[in-house]
Amino acid sequence: MPSPHAKTQKTKMSKIAMSLPPSLVDDLDFLSARLGVSRSALAAELLSDAAAEIRRVVSLIPPNPTPADLLRMRGESEVLIRQRIASATQLTDDLFPGLDKPEDAK
């Protein structure tokens, strides 16, 4: 049976320290302020799916990959990159529905 406070319980998070380029910190500060979320929440959201996908792809690479293994991985990486671009494009379309796309601006 769930506890009566189940809705107020937070997911356990781990604290880490990272060194980041100042320009990236500026971007995170701008985005977190604009979106009304913490830098930690923003970084977690941005990294969680990407890191999981990269881990999945890297875990498929054998310890001593052959040229054929590397070629196959390039193909899977291309699919991952295309999915990421499509996701970013959809996010942009959702956030800024009136924004002209380059092909529309001609």
Give the per-residue pLDDT at 21: 93
pLDDT in tens, 32-58: 999 999 999 989 988 888 888 888 877
Q: In whole angstroms, give the CA distance from residue 56 to residue 47.
A: 14
- Evaluate whether residue 31 is within a structural domain: no
> Is the CB of residue 32 less than 8 Å from the CB of residue 39?
yes
Q: Quote the crossing angle between the two packed helices 39-59 and 22-35, to the nearest 10°.
A: 120
20: nearest Cα among 53, 2, 49, 42: 42
**Structural domain boundaries enclosing 82:** 60-96
Question: Global pTM?
Answer: 0.53
User: What is the total count of domains within the chain?
Assistant: 1
Give the per-residue pLDDT at 68: 80
Low-confidence stretches of the chain (pLDDT < 70) are: 1-10, 92, 94-96, 98-106
Give the per-residue pLDDT at 70: 73
- Evaluate whether residue 22 is within a structural domain: no
